[in-house]
Structure 1
Amino acid sequence: MNDQEARDWLQRIRALPDQGPVRIMNVCGGHERSISLAGLRDALPPAIELIPGPGCPVCVCPEEDVYRAIRLALETDAILVAFGDMLRVPVNVPRGEPRSLEQARAAGADVRPIASPAEAARLALARPERPVIFFAAGFETTMAPVAALLAEGLPGNLFLLLSGRLTWPAVAMLLDSETPGFDALIAPGHVSTVMGPEEWQFVPERHGLPTAVAGFGPESLLAAIHSVLRQRLEQQCFLDNCYPEVVRPGGNPTARALLTQTLGVTDANWRGIGVISDSGFVLREAFAAHDARRQFALAEKPERRRTGEMPPGCDCARVVLGRIYPDQCRLYGKGCNPRSPIGPCMVSDEGACRIWWRHGIHSGVPSEA
């Protein structure tokens, strides 16, 4: 982090003419973590609102996908692996049943956390006598190494339960709604590194909103905030790349080619939000033999009527959409905290509720984290 550069950008922001309330959405959970860690909300002029957006893949992973992963772990002889945060995501089940992969492991299932797709392949090679199911949830930056794994060739006993999502369609859905709720956009640097900043060109071109790509240091975030404020003042909306040392035109050609080669795109459900057009990754037909949805049949349970919904009282979907702040959720700090999360936004390090809780916004409730 360049402290002096961050201070310089902050001074420039404070020197801008007052333009009244401005609501700036930061899409990425990593951005929200950096904003909270650096105390940027308190440092910026009070008229500037920074709104957390739909940039947490754990938060939007469909409840039915997590439930399927739990059932696969409990009802087959497979080793089920997933990124660490996914093990704690709760689902809607009757009291007494495992409501997360972590609880399924406590009930005897072989569930293991991993940090990278390569770990799943190594485990499958080390245990050829057992099927290994990789529950792969994430956005483009996570799906790129999954695509590389597919292109290299999977061990015969490795299967994917894919729950990948594209980031930009969620923002497009918000902007196409009657009340998008924000006046400018800070686009995610890591996604732009893979897919290219051009993915966000539709925001200024179609919707007339100032847009800037930012990295994860305060200096890059403040540069992006300054950019969108200047765009508003000068009434010239465009896409500004404030992370040029990493984000290049066209993104990463190799990663994009691998994604196109191995994965297709389809309409997909986002937890608590609903189906968003062309927002989900699916395995191409050439990889059907490794598709856990096809290779492991599970009997449908008609009593599962709450599929896709948040737990009762949980406002996580409204937090993800930027409709409310985390501490405005009805359950925030009232039974829902990082030790005992009720909604997915309190599970992940990129979930806005967990980030706010960890940085001291406890709504008067003593911290149990």
Structure 2
Amino acid sequence: MRRQSVETLIAGLDAMHPERPFRVMNVCGGHERSITQAGLRSLLDKHIELIPGPGCPVCICPEEDIAQAIHLALNEQVILLSFGDMLRVPVFSHTEGPRSLLAARSQGADVRPVASPLDAVAIARANVTQQVVFFAAGFETTMAPVAAMVAEGVPDNLTVLLSGRLTWPAVAMLLSNDEQAFDALIAPGHVATIMGSDEWAFVAEQHGLPTAIAGFHGESVLAALQCLLQQRSDNRAQLVNCYPEVVKPQGNTQAQQLLREVMVVSAANWRGIGVVEDSGFTLRPEFATVNARVRFSELTDQSSFTPLAPPAGARCADVVLGRLYPDQCPLFGNECTPRHPIGPCMVSDEGACRIWMSSGMRSVDESKPTPEGV
């Protein structure tokens, strides 16, 4: 696909004036960050809506997995490692005690942020007399390097508490429940880099919705929008790759092979969403020695965690599912802020609420309808 300048792309968008609302879901938190920080919504026709979707791995990590990590950190004398965003994500249950990994650390737990699986291996090798647990939550782009780490072999004192998810099943679930949830899709470029652009063809082929793969620079996002609008104008639906310099139809086959060798896919719980079929990564039985849920067998007993309903007014699940914009949650910017997050969407750099607050965006244009159209 030929690269165009930002000026050319914006001019092309200006020439397109949809006569009715055109709701485009951008799945990835990285896309939402690019869109919001660049102020792209302010450049678009009032009928074009850009709806944040369920592409924040921290936001959808189930509370029971975080509770397991907190339990290990407090009760098993382990070094608990996690990607930085996860440390501040709150959980709500009837169980007394710290509500986040950061709170557990304040009570004496050895909780440390890491940036990659290589960091986890290095910490385990530097602390051979201690058990080290790597709480690995994320989508395909995170799971691929975790799979590579496990396949290469890890120190005997390192185990993995896995909370991995595939992205496309959540979008498929949204469309199976309501084919009118959105009118077009910007699919995540980083996931497609691993899994291939062809994985997203079902949106166009099965649901008749224009679909584009986009990268994270302004030109790629704008090119995807222009492509989607053109499809709408032509009354057609197909998958177009607007990130061809990185994304290939079949993706990274070596990374996919590692995922298949190390992990299996099964039904999995998504925070605020529920169980999504064929959406969760778990370690294969042959890697049981690396599985924290096997080494610390009490984690298999889920009865100790009883989730509470979200705090009154919290609409995290609706924001994740694209049913509400962040500012339409009554807690946004009031009780819930980046300094004092009520829900996960205000914690992660990929959470829509955090992105909007950090970018100074407090409300969407009131002339545009809500994602629900109400």
Q: What band does the TM-score fall into relative to the shorter chain?
A: over 0.9
Q: CA deviation at 1:195?
A: 0.4
State the SS of the aligned residue for 2:297.
Answer: coil
Percent identity between the aligned chains? 59
Aligned counterpart, 1:18: 18
Q: CA deviation at 1:313?
A: 2.8
The CA distance in 2 between the partners of 1:172 and 1:96, in whole Å, is 37
Q: CA deviation at 1:178?
A: 2.8
State the SS of the aligned residue for 1:201.
Answer: helix
Instruction: State the AA in 2 paired with 1:32.
Output: E
RMSD: 1.7
The CA distance in 2 between the partners of 1:259 and 1:301, in whole Å, is 26
Aligned counterpart, 1:256: 256
Alignment of 1:159 onto 2:163: no
Written as runs of structure 1 = structure 2, the 5 A alignment for 1:187-266 is 187-266=187-266
How many positions carry a matched residue from both structures?
A: 360
The CA distance in 1 between the partners of 2:311 and 2:258, in whole Å, is 36
Aligned counterpart, 1:137: 137
The CA distance in 2 between the partners of 1:116 and 1:340, in whole Å, is 26
Are 1:196 and 1:249, in contact at CA under 8 Å, matched by a contact in 2? yes
Distance verdict in 2 for CA 1:269–1:227, change over 3 Å:
same
The CA distance in 1 between the partners of 2:176 and 2:255, in whole Å, is 29
State the SS of the aligned residue for 2:327.
Answer: helix
Written as runs of structure 1 = structure 2, the 5 A alignment for 1:1-369 is 5-93=5-93, 97-178=97-178, 180-298=180-298, 300=301, 302=303, 304-306=305-307, 310-362=310-362
Q: CA deviation at 1:117?
A: 0.6
State the SS of the aligned residue for 1:298.
Answer: helix
Q: CA deviation at 1:17?
A: 4.4
Are 2:136 and 2:163, in contact at CA under 8 Å, matched by a contact in 1? yes
The CA distance in 2 between the partners of 1:240 and 1:303, in whole Å, is 47
Aligned counterpart, 1:367: none
Are 2:29 and 2:351, in contact at CA under 8 Å, matched by a contact in 1? yes
Are 1:91 and 1:311, in contact at CA under 8 Å, matched by a contact in 2? no
The CA distance in 2 between the partners of 1:362 and 1:230, in whole Å, is 30
The CA distance in 1 between the partners of 2:5 and 2:11, in whole Å, is 10
State the SS of the aligned residue for 2:113.
Answer: strand
State the SS of the aligned residue for 2:249.
Answer: coil
Distance verdict in 2 for CA 1:268–1:180, change over 3 Å:
farther
Are 2:58 and 2:86, in contact at CA under 8 Å, matched by a contact in 1? yes
Q: CA deviation at 1:23?
A: 0.3
The normalised TM-score by structure 1 is 0.94
Q: CA deviation at 1:20?
A: 1.8
Structure 1: gaps of 5 or more residues: 364-369
State the SS of the aligned residue for 1:156.
Answer: coil
